[in-house]
Amino acid sequence: MIGCWCRQPGKTCPFRGCKGNKNIIFAAEMNRRNYQSEMDRLIDELQQAGRVPTLLLHVCCAPCSSYCLEYLSRYFETTVLFYNPNISPLAEYQKRMDELKRFVGEYPFIHPVKVITSDYTPSVFYESVKGLENEPERGRRCHICYRIRLEETARLAAENHFDYFATTLTLSPLKDADKLNEIGQEMGKKYRTAYLPSDFKKKEGYKRSIVLSAQYKLYRQNYCGCVFSKKAIPESSADQASQASGI
């Protein structure tokens, strides 16, 4: 068994709610899949084969797209999909979409990046999460929101014959990368199109997004996008609100 940190003198357990015996959980954490490494290995294989595949990348906002596009555009011909029916109100949706287009137009990408947008359809989100209005952030409501966006991305990727699809959502420290990758792989199987695994916050990705956001003076919102996340802001710490901006 691997011992928990809280069993070592002077150590504070990193696991929330630890009651003194987290051996199994600690071992599980050590054995978690590293989705970023999986993506890096795939990219190495593609480069060795001399391929530059097409990628449909779901994007939630300009700040999150910044590092992800900087990284991915070296290896893929990327089309950005702005599909986020969770974002409210309409003015916020428009502002985030316009800022994304501005960033894509200004950044000197190695391979070209295109942007496609969708109609504003908040009813899709509200109908899907009905009854879960009081769920905490990162709970079941968020998982449904992940699924809505990843399913549409997978559907369009298959319909338009992209080689891969992915999402920038794994950049955020407040998003569940394991759940996002699980849903992405599920949608890939459903629509018979290849999902690109990721955990963009690895390799200092989130920190790089902050630098790029400052460099390009990107609008960084202080809530994820839905009305429920906005209501939760006063209950969060200042650090959490700062992390949430750009999600």
Helix, strand, or coil (residue 20): coil
Residue 113 lies in a domain: yes
* 6, 13 Cβ separation under 8 angstroms: yes
Which CATH number does the domain housing residue 75 bear?
Answer: 3.40.50.620
**39: in domain:** yes
Q: Which residues fall within 8 angstroms of residue 57, CB to CB, at 6 or more apart?
A: 65, 68, 69, 72, 78, 79, 80, 81, 165, 166, 167, 168
193: amino acid identity, one letter: T
Q: Is residue 2 part of a domain?
A: no
Q: Give the closest residue to 245 by CA, choosing from 143, 99, 82.
A: 99
Question: For position 31, what pLDDT does the model report?
Answer: 56
Alpha-helical runs (H) found in the chain: 23-30, 35-48, 62-72, 90-106, 122-128, 140-159, 177-191, 205-215, 227-232, 238-244
Instruction: Give a yes or no: residue 180 inside a domain.
Output: yes
Q: Taking residues 110-119, what's their average pLDDT?
A: 95
Domain range spanning residue 238?
Answer: 30-244
Contact (CB, 8 A) for 6 and 23: no
Q: Is residue 4 part of a domain?
A: no
Within a domain: 96? yes
Q: Is the pTM here over 0.85, yes or no? A: no
CA 88, 91, 95, 97 dihedral sign is positive
Per-residue model confidence as pLDDT tens digits over 119-145: 999 999 999 999 999 888 889 999 999
Query: Could you tell me the two tokens for 142?
Result: 């968020």
| 12 in any annotated domain | no
Asked if residue 205 belongs to a domain, the reply is yes
Residue 30 has pLDDT above 50, yes or no: no
What is the per-residue pLDDT across 192-202, written as a single tens digit (0 to 9) for each? 999 999 999 99
The total number of structural domains in the chain stands at 1
